[in-house]
Amino acid sequence: MGASEIRVDAWQVSAFEQARSSGTLIVSPEYQRRPVWASKDQMLLIDSIARGVPIGAITLYADSSQGYDVYEVIDGKQRLTSLLNFVGDKLTIKTSYIEKAGLDDDEFDVANDEVTVNYHDRLYSDLEIQYKMRLGQYQIPIFLVRGDRSAAIRSFARMNRSTYSLKPQEIRNAFFTGTAFLQTVIDCINDLDVAAFGESGTSASSLLVKMGGISAGSWDRMQDLQLISELLVLVLHDVQHRRDSLDEFYGLYRDPKGDAAKKLADATKRLRAILLQIWQLAQETSLQAYHFPSSCEHDLYGLVGALHMRGPLSKPQMDRLGKELIDVVSAFRSETEKYVDKVRKGETPSPGEFEPLVEQYGRGFLGGQTNSKARRQERIDVWVEVINGMVSTLDDKSAFTETQRRLIWAHSADKICARCGEVVEWDGFHAGHRLAWSLGGRTVVENGQVEHAVCNVSAGATGV
């Protein structure tokens, strides 16, 4: 039985077109299926490429039997045919089809954005030169197979029978192996595990798995590397839209020198500190214990972004606020789940049922593209407000935050005023101090109690 050798590479669109023009690219070898993509699917692919969205790897077999390489498409024929149809003036993009595809309204104004204006309803030959160049320079990852041809065809048949497909990070790892950015990501994960547990982790003992950011199954598919890559880019260069630009940053920091190398090292150090602080705030247990969902990478992205934006908590703040903050975070996340669940059931929350920040945060999980740039930024902004609100209670502030206030209300089983002994309705509720703030009582949930607003005013600073 023959053997085949597989290498990971990347080709620009222009390289595929050049190979086709020279006769060294066979898009439809005899073992490939016939074209099945409708025009609208082809249009969506070209629109995605113009926007820089990854389209997955293409597998080629290199036949060198004639003394030079002739490339047969083993997998990816539909995508490559669509692309070459556009470059060959056999296809134009219709805006109406793209609008029906449901692109995220938060990110794309399909009727007026740059891609629509410069690529839609035009033949490739009519595009302005800079937009031809942008399309031509778009890179597509490829698996290049050499060796025994029959083994390559058997591999293709196996690929099409199997439900297993490579994740983007698995392709990324192969393509960028040995580069500085990938090694930095790997080292960051190992350093986190060593700092938390004294040794490098496995799928059962990785900090990201223990924290609840990813599942053990996702760890096996290298999703820990992808999550850390996204978080590192967040610290390096701000919020990104989905994962579309990850390959770009892997290339940008392939072999950084001077200031770029220092910037990468500083960002990695800051990311490690932030993740370890979140682990400490969570009392070294899973975030799921605090009402986060089973896979909470979206929340973790928001928390990391918030602590990066406002700065990690100082040691005195952690010492005084750690337990109180995670209790408030837990209550906030619990209320968010209730809000999202209610809306998904088609129910309308009553006025004042949820605090505005909860509704704002919850809306980011309704509809599509929860990891769009706009929604990621909104989650970060909400967490900054929640954290800053709690930190402000350390700075001689007597008023409870709205989240603390609702937590105090939730902790009261009978809703009895601690001052007059009568039942308190929500509209007349005031979060008061057990030991008055003016007498040294702290503005923390443990020192809070349910009171009538009028009772609180009349009590003054007695603390009783």
Query: Is 217 exposed, middle or buried (CB count within 10 Å of its CB: 0-12, 13-18, 19+)?
Result: exposed
pLDDT of residue 84: 92
pLDDT of residue 205: 77
> For residue 389, what pLDDT band results from cuts at 50, 70 and 90?
confident
**Distance between CA 329 and CA 335 in Å, rounded?**
10
**Distance between CA 318 and CA 183 in Å, rounded?**
31
For the segment 344-381, what is each residue's pLDDT rounded down to a tens digit?
A: 999 999 888 888 999 999 999 998 778 899 999 999 99
* Residue 419 contacts residue 452 (beta carbons within 8 Å): yes
pLDDT-wise least confident of 103-112, 116-125, 395-404: 103-112
**Distance between CA 223 and CA 208 in Å, rounded?**
10
Q: Which of 38, 219, 59, 86 has the alpha carbon at shortest distance from 153?
A: 59
pLDDT of residue 395: 60
Q: Is it the case that residue 236 has pLDDT exceeding 50? A: yes
For the segment 56-113, what is each residue's pLDDT rounded down to a tens digit?
A: 888 898 988 889 999 988 888 889 999 999 999 999 998 888 777 655 444 455 556 7
CB neighbourhood size of 427 (10 A): 7
pLDDT-wise least confident of 297-311, 397-411, 429-443: 397-411
Q: Is it the case that residue 129 has pLDDT exceeding 80? A: yes
SS3 for 201? coil
pLDDT of residue 359: 94
Residue with tokens 């580069």: 179
Helix H or strand E segment including 140 = strand 139-147
Q: Which of 360, 357, 362, 439 has the alpha carbon at shortest distance from 398?
A: 439
SS3 for 452? strand
298 compared with 153, residue with greater pLDDT: 298
φ, ψ (nearest 5 deg) of residue 26:
-105, 105
> For residue 2, what pLDDT band results from cuts at 50, 70 and 90?
low
Q: Which of 167, 136, 54, 42 has the alpha carbon at shortest distance from 93?
A: 42
DSSP strand pairing (139-147 vs 58-63)? parallel
What DSSP assignment string belongs to 77-97? Answer: HHHHHHHHHHHTTS--B-HHH
What percent of the chain clears pLDDT 90, i.e. is strictly above it?
50
| Tokens (6 digits) for 235 | 């610290």
For the segment 347-357, what is each residue's pLDDT rounded down to a tens digit?
A: 999 888 888 99
Sheet holding 70-75, edge to edge: 4-12, 139-147, 58-63, 70-75, 25-26
Amino acid at 109: D
* Residue 239 contacts residue 377 (beta carbons within 8 Å): yes
CA 298 from centroid of its chain's CA atoms: 6
pLDDT-wise least confident of 56-65, 70-79, 307-316, 438-447: 438-447
For residue 143, give the DSSP letter. Answer: E
For residue 46, give the DSSP letter. Answer: H
For the segment 184-209, what is each residue's pLDDT rounded down to a tens digit?
A: 999 999 999 999 998 876 766 799 99
pLDDT of residue 105: 46
**Distance between CA 47 and CA 49 in Å, rounded?**
5
Task: Indicate the pTM of the whole model.
Answer: 0.70
